[in-house]
Structures are given as structure tokens and as C-alpha cells.
């Protein structure tokens, strides 16, 4: 009985090792495309702080996009803290809500990303359900 349970234990240990190795291989592909594939995956999960490391500071982005015209006709910067009265870095929304992250290696050519196709759809789905940018406090005191 003791010998049989030892064999079962070793079998489980071997299977766990094989499955773990397969999982690691799937997460980190091998070959010439491996590095850019992994970096593209990292870019897709980029947080605001990672994006702002190159594209920031956030105040510069807010200022540069101040003339944005929303589908409702309202003119405002779509780059806002959430909640809007905050100034904490933790309250900067994740950039990937609206923008598609680019791979980090190689960097995209200047002007190759068309920001004119970006809308405020995330804002409408997350908070502004009336499809305008009216302050929440106007309807929800």
C-alpha cells in the first residue's frame, strides 16, 4: 500500500510539472516573433501610468485634446479623471478603454495611429448613459 501511494504521488508530481511547462510555453512563445508577441500582449494590458510614461503627463494630454467635439456636439477634453473632481493619478482611467495599445518593439511610426477614429463610447457606457457629457450631479443630486 505504501509503495503504491508513492507511485501515485510521483505520477501526480510528474503530470503537474508537464502541465506547468506547457502553460509557461503558451505564455511565452518561442521563435523569431516571440519578443514582439509578448510585448504586444503587455501593451494590451498597459495601465495609464505605463502609457503616460511616454505620452504624458496627463495634464498635457488634457490640454491637447481640449477641442474634442463629442458625438453629442459638446466640446470638451475626453481625457478626464474619474471621478472628474479628482486630481489623483490613481483616478486616471485606463487608456485602453478608448485607445488600442501598440506593441513596444518596434515603436509605431509617427502619425501611424489614427486618433480621429477614437470616440467617447466608454464614457457613455460607464457613466454618461444619456449619451451626453452633462454632469452626473445635474440628474443624480
Between CA 18 and CA 100 the distance in angstroms is 35
pTM above 0.75, yes or no: no
| Residue 116 pLDDT level (bands cut at 50, 70, 90) | confident
pLDDT digits (tens, 9 = 90+) for 33-55: 333 333 344 444 467 888 998 89
**Among 81-90, 111-120, 126-135, the range of highest mean pLDDT:** 81-90
Whether 14 is in a domain gets the answer no
Look up the domain containing 113 and give its range.
Answer: 31-139
Asked whether residue 10 is assigned to any structural domain, the reply reads no
Digit-coded pLDDT (tens) for 17-28: 444 444 444 444
Assess if residue 89 is contained within a domain: yes
Place of cell 508513492: 6
- In this predicted structure, the answer to whether residue 32 has a pLDDT above a threshold of 50 is no
Structure confidence at residue 25 (pLDDT) = 41
Q: Are 72 and 133 in contact (CB under 8 A)?
A: yes
- As given in the structure block, the three cell numbers for residue 98 are 478608448
Query: Is residue 70, in this structure, part of any structural domain at all?
Result: yes
| Domain total of the chain | 1
- Classify residue 5: in a domain, yes or no: no
In a domain, 97, yes or no: yes
pLDDT digit string (tens) for 63-94?
Answer: 999 999 998 899 999 999 999 999 999 999 99
Please indicate, yes or no, if residue 8 is contained in any of the structural domains. Answer: no
Print the SS3 string covering the chain.
Answer: CHHHHHHHHHHHHHHHHHHHHHHHHHHCCCCCCHHHHHHHHHHHCCCHHHHHHHHCCHHHHHHHCCCCECCCCCECCCCCCCCCCCCCHHHCCCHHHCCCCCCCCCCCCCCCCCHHHCCCHHHHHHCCCCCCCCCHHHHCC
User: Has residue 84 been placed in a domain?
Assistant: yes
Question: Over the Cα atoms of the chain, what is R_g?
Answer: 23
Amino acid at each position: 500500500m505504501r509503495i503504491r501511494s508513492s507511485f501515485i504521488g510521483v505520477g501526480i508530481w510528474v503530470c503537474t510539472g508537464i502541465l506547468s511547462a506547457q502553460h509557461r510555453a503558451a505564455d511565452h512563445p518561442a521563435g523569431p516573433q516571440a519578443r514582439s508577441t509578448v510585448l504586444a500582449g503587455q501593451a494590451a494590458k498597459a495601465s495609464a501610468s505605463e502609457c503616460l510614461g511616454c505620452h504624458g503627463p496627463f495634464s498635457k494630454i488634457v490640454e491637447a485634446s481640449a477641442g474634442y467635439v463629442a458625438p453629442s456636439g459638446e466640446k470638451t477634453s475626453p481625457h478626464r479623471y474619474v471621478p472628474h473632481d479628482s486630481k489623483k493619478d490613481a483616478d486616471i482611467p485606463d487608456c485602453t478603454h478608448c485607445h488600442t495599445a501598440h506593441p513596444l518593439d518596434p515603436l509605431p511610426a509617427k502619425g501611424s495611429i489614427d486618433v480621429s477614429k477614437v470616440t467617447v463610447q466608454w464614457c457613455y457606457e460607464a457613466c454618461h448613459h444619456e449619451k451626453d457629457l452633462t454632469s452626473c450631479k445635474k440628474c443624480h443630486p
